[in-house]
Amino acid sequence: MKTLAELARDLRAGTTSSRGLVEECLARIANAAGEGQRTFIKVHADTARAAADCCDRLRAHGAQLSPFAGIPVSIKDLFDLAGDVTTAGSTVLRDEPCAEADAPSVARLRAAGFIPIGRTNMTEFAYSGLGVNPHYGTPLNPFERSRRRIPGGSSSGAAISITEQMCHGALGTDTGGSCRIPAAFCGIVGFKPTARRVPLDGVFPLSRTLDSVGPLAASVECCAILDAFLAAESSPGLDTRAVRGARLAVPQRYVLDNLEPHVARSFERALSQLSRARAELIELPLIELDEISRINAKGGFPAAESYALHRQRLDTQRAQMDPRVAMRILRGREQSAADYIDLFRARADLERHTARHLAPFDAAVLPTCAVIAPMLAELESDEEYIRLNLLAVRNSTVVNLLDRCAISIPCQEAGSAPVGLTLMGPPGGDRALLALAAAVETLIRPKAEG
């Protein structure tokens, strides 16, 4: 799988064309044995071809384009695209008006020359870490696909669009891990920025308090390039950072409880590789994280804020919704105004106390998810669905509650089930975290034998 930088070099050298890249992606969407249909809710084939032809003609005439102009990307179905209905992975929004303008995040990618090739599938209203969608089908994880493993969510289609090379970058959202969980389950990279760096205008909300906009891609460098454009930074370049001497906190207790054995082994393997590279690994009790279960006992911010948004829709269209999503939204009824105000106070306390402990460190390291991707058959009962969803989102939710940035990088042995290692950085420390993550990636990423 070529990186964005490699594709940019090919376009500059004339060894590929934008139209060629788009046609290759469209062919993969069409020929993916049903995965294309489950991965994309809508494919913009004609407009992608037209945009690609425009890029190619301009390059042929010597126009100075962005290095990435003409590279196809996918857009999660939460983002406004001018002329499209934003359905948020649901069927109840199909008759809503078309968006009049692109979301700013989409507009920024277009301005950099990226070509949206289609809208990707997702958990309805982004309210689950598993990626299951009963309306449009569930894209299947590339690992042991015959066993029908889930992709993770809510940015499920975004992840599969990358693993199947149906595009070369994916735009997702992350409220409690929705970029990082599918990245970890599918063996790619997912980045959650500090929320305030990328505007949320034109993005269908789950929880405005916790929502953020981030990329999924083949590598840390690819995510860093996309992030720079999303955050409207002056240069997509990434400074290098050595692992040697990096101070890395290893939180204990909460984020290490009930790890599946393969996850635990992969995490220990990654820590050993970092230690051999002379990173300074320091175990940190961080007992404040134990408060998260209490803070979210009534569903936390997502339940309260999604219920406020959907309560009238639940009265009239609940039968058309994924019943498991509707069930989670309805938990918002349990919260009073005082409960909601208490959430902000509890979050502020948690941020303050953990910041004191984490201040001396460049980043914290933890498993992205406590489990590997479950099989669809394991989710048939509501009880297992709830249990596995909690294990999928538990660690990633920490980052959103703390208003920090984080990235998930594959860390399993080659050929085994994908596992993600999370690097969590301080609020606003996004580019420094990405620089460190790029160095960590070279150490821990699974390498094919031979």
Catalytic residues: 76, 154, 178
Q: Which residues, in sequence order, are CB contacts of 178 under 8 Å at separation 6+?
A: 123, 126, 129, 153, 154, 155, 172
Cβ atoms of 122 and 43 within 8 Å: the answer is no
Cβ atoms of 75 and 200 within 8 Å: the answer is no
Cβ atoms of 88 and 97 within 8 Å: the answer is no
Cis, bond preceding 154 (omega within 30 deg of 0):
yes
Closest CA to 127 of 188, 197, 177: 177
Closest CA to 230 of 51, 401, 405: 405
Other CB atoms within a 10 A radius of the CB of residue 221 amount to 21
Beta bridge partners, 324, equal none
Closest CA to 99 of 109, 88, 108, 110: 88
The three-class DSSP label of residue 326 is helix
What sign does the CA torsion over 191, 165, 230, 225 have?
Answer: positive
The three-class DSSP label of residue 251 is strand
The angle formed by the CA atoms of residues 47, 53 and 55, to the nearest 5 degrees, is 105
Cβ atoms of 335 and 308 within 8 Å: the answer is no
* Distance, CA of 7 to CA of 366 (rounded, Å): 32
* Distance, CA of 52 to CA of 226 (rounded, Å): 19
Which of the 8 DSSP states describes residue 44?
-
The three-class DSSP label of residue 323 is helix
Beta bridge partners, 406, equal 192, 424
Structure token pair of residue 445: 């990423």
Order of strands, edge to edge, in the sheet holding 170-173? 40-43, 115-120, 72-76, 170-173, 213-217, 189-192, 405-410, 420-425, 363-367, 247-251, 280-284
Using DSSP bridges, classify how beta strands 405-410 and 189-192 pair: parallel, antiparallel or unpaired.
antiparallel
* Distance, CA of 154 to CA of 133 (rounded, Å): 9
